[in-house]
């Protein structure tokens, strides 16, 4: 993309192609007199407010506006001959912006949405909607994406360039997982990506809490937050995930991996449905417009692992959220997104109410490309854990027999409880990959977890604290330089005294 001026104000357009507002049906206005207009063309109204042509008829156009108030019957609008774009650049890092690139003040007071500012200032701009790159520009996903959450890394591994749907009922920990993944990528990565967080139609208090969390953790300097509140225009809210993806494409084109977190697309679909109904489009299933699948597909297809002209690869990893109702995976938007993405992680409310965190239902979660990114050791561990969990579930089903259980079944039940405790992890605690591997090996060997003074949660916390020392990092890295589980366990036995001490002292 080439640089250009920020969009001009209403009085700066010399075009005589001016239309008059004849009807206001917020967030849509009907404008008469706009000749030679095209779909998605930007319209500038009086007071320098922006709109976008949503649909065209013989002599009128429905224009989607991105602000509340000021427009009324008789207001004037002028065609610009341009499509929507937003300013991009490294100066966006650390910023909280709206989908049009306007910075939002920290306390979200006195903000102006859709107002044209900075007239004449040269900036680079990227369009909000572009055609996804074709198959010839894409590469196989080969690099793993470490989340720092043991259950995800062992059972539902992710890859850089993957599109993995996070779904579940409200308040089951989906957004918390996104925050943890962002933290893991920015703190446990030698070459951290740029993280783009899109908060779609959130409460203002939630946006403020997100910003404060990332600032407190020291992550915001490597992030861009694109946010809209539920008080904003549905037209502006609809643009939020597209703006996030455009920013990701800018960093991709400049040789930087990106991680895009879309929170969430169920809210996005509801606001898009509101726009479509007000535009009197024919409603489909659950009153959603017929192009809702296409809308989300063309958004998510912009993510992936891409070849560059330099011969290397750059990825845009996308983790969209979707909301289920009472654990129903057959909802319209849910199944649409499951069909577009490369797998999903399902948060189960029943597991959540049992007090387990993260409340992920592993058997109902899928990763289609994540396992191909694992090394030989991680594949070996993942295979062993999955096989054991099947045995553990079978043992649980017959555990009511009590005294009649065999010794082998009893041992499976005991180890199953320890593995469950290992996967039960605070979102605030991020495990480096080598520490994750070593901790699991110690549990599998029954070297930790039996002493009530040092439960697995305490051992995990101590190991993470001690991991800050370089000699500990070297030790754990050396243990993991093997290709199968048996060799890992042999290495752990050789260093068991030192490893147990690391787990029992902070």
Taking the C-alpha atoms of residue 471 and residue 65, their distance in angstroms, rounded to an integer, is 58
Q: For the sheet with 122-127, list strands across it.
A: 3-5, 122-127, 85-88
Q: How far is CA 69 from the centre of its chain?
A: 32
| 225: phi then psi, degrees, rounded to nearest 5 | -105, 125
Indicate the helix (H) or strand (E) that contains 197. strand 194-202
Is omega for the bond preceding 283 within 30 degrees of 0, making it cis? no
Inter-residue contact 69 to 79 (CB < 8 Å) = no
Inter-residue contact 86 to 102 (CB < 8 Å) = no
| 339: phi then psi, degrees, rounded to nearest 5 | -75, -25
Taking the C-alpha atoms of residue 129 and residue 239, their distance in angstroms, rounded to an integer, is 9
Taking the C-alpha atoms of residue 385 and residue 419, their distance in angstroms, rounded to an integer, is 9
The neighbour count for residue 377, using CB atoms within 10 Å, is 17
- The owner of tokens 């965190």 is 357
| 444: phi then psi, degrees, rounded to nearest 5 | -65, -30
Q: Which two tokens stand for residue 334?
A: 């849910």
Core vs surface per residue 412-441: b (16+ CB within 10 A) or e: bbebbebbebbbbbebeebbbbbbbbbbbb
Taking the C-alpha atoms of residue 462 and residue 467, their distance in angstroms, rounded to an integer, is 9
Residues 6+ apart with CB under 8 A from 65: 26, 27, 28, 29, 45, 49, 50, 51, 71, 114, 233, 235
For residue 477, give the DSSP letter. H
Helix ranges restricted to H, 318-455:
332-340, 349-353, 376-397, 407-423, 433-444
Q: Which two tokens stand for residue 287?
A: 């009153």
Q: Which two tokens stand for residue 31?
A: 């404008």
- The owner of tokens 């859709």 is 114
In Å, how far are 3, 417, 447, 488 from 459, measured between CA atoms? 53, 16, 11, 19
For 46-51, the CB contacts below 8 A with 24+ separation are 46/10, 46/75, 46/76, 46/77, 47/10, 47/115, 48/9, 48/10, 48/115, 48/116, 49/114, 49/115, 50/7, 50/84, 50/100, 50/114, 50/116, 51/77, 51/114, 51/235
Q: Which residues are catalytic?
A: 368
């Amino acid at each position: 993309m080439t640089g250009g001026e920020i969009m001009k104000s209403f009085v700066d357009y010399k075009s005589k192609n001016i239309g008059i507002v004849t009807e206001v049906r917020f967030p849509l206005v009907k404008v008469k007199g706009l000749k030679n207009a095209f779909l998605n063309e930007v319209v500038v109204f009086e007071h320098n407010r922006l709109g976008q042509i949503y649909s065209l008829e013989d002599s009128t156009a429905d224009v989607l506006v991105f602000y509340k108030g000021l427009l009324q019957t008789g207001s004037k609008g002028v065609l610009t001959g341009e499509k929507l774009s937003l300013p991009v650049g490294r100066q966006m890092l650390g910023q909280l912006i709206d989908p049009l690139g306007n910075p939002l003040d920290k306390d979200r007071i006195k903000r102006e949405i859709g107002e044209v500012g900075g007239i004449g200032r040269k900036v680079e701009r990227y369009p909000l909607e572009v055609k996804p790159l074709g198959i010839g520009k894409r590469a196989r996903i080969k690099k793993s994406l470490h989340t720092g959450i043991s259950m995800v890394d062992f059972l539902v591994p992710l890859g850089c360039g993957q599109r993995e749907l996070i779904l579940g009922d409200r308040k089951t920990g989906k957004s918390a997982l996104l925050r943890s993944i962002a933290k893991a990528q920015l703190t446990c990565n030698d070459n951290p990506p740029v993280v783009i967080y899109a908060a779609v139609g959130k409460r203002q208090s939630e946006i403020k809490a997100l910003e404060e969390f990332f600032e407190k953790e020291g992550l915001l300097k490597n992030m861009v937050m694109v946010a809209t509140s539920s008080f904003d225009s549905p037209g502006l809210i609809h643009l939020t995930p597209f703006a996030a993806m455009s920013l990701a494409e800018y960093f991709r084109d400049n040789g930087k991996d990106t991680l895009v977190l879309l929170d969430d697309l169920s809210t996005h679909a509801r606001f898009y449905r509101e726009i479509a109904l007000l535009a009197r489009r024919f409603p489909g299933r659950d009153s959603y417009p017929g192009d809702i699948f296409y809308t989300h597909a063309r958004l998510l297809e912009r993510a992936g692992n891409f070849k560059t002209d330099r011969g290397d690869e750059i990825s845009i990893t996308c983790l969209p959220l979707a909301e289920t109702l009472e654990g129903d995976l057959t909802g319209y938007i849910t199944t649409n997104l499951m069909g577009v993405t490369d797998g999903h992680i399902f948060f189960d409310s029943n597991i959540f109410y049992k007090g387990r965190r993260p409340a992920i239902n592993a058997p109902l979660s899928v990763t289609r490309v994540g396992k191909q990114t694992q090394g030989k050791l991680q594949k070996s561990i993942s295979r062993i854990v999955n096989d054991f969990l099947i045995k553990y579930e079978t043992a649980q089903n017959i555990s009511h027999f009590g005294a009649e259980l065999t010794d082998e079944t009893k041992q499976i039940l005991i180890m199953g409880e320890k593995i469950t405790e290992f996967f039960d992890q605070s979102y605030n605690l991020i495990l480096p990959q080598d520490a994750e591997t070593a901790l699991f090996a110690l549990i599998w060997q029954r070297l930790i977890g039996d002493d009530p003074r040092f439960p697995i949660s305490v051992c995990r916390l101590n190991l993470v604290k001690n991991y800050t020392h370089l000699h500990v990092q070297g030790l754990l890295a050396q243990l993991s330089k093997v290709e199968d589980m048996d060799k890992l366990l042999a290495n752990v036995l050789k260093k068991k005294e030192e490893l147990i001490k690391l787990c029992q002292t902070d």
